[in-house]
Structure 1
Amino acid sequence: MFSLSFSRFMKFSLGHIGLELDLNQEQNLLLTQSLSWP
């Protein structure tokens, strides 16, 4: 019971971190694109 909820929690936190990283990558891409504009 405990291990199941713990693994579920780990999956959720890892997925959340992955989402944050994806958002950061998109923001960085937008930043570099806007900076590269003349």
Structure 2
Amino acid sequence: MISKKDQTRKSKTIVNQTAKQTMFGGFLHIEHVAGHTNNR
């Protein structure tokens, strides 16, 4: 059995990882768009 505390900690970690990935993905997308604008 996983204790309630461990479960909460695990889901928090997953949420943090997802948020980081989303931010990173958004950053890459902005860089990508900026690169295209500069090339024109």
TM superposition score normalised by structure 2: 0.82
Structure 1 runs of 4+ off > 6 angstroms? Answer: none
Over the matched positions of the two proteins, sequence identity in percent amounts to: 9
* Count of residues in correspondence between the two structures: 35
Q: CA RMSD in A?
A: 0.5
List runs of 5+ in structure 1 lacking aligned partners. Answer: none
What stretches of structure 2 of length at least 5 have no aligned partner?
1-5
TM (norm. structure 1) is: 0.86
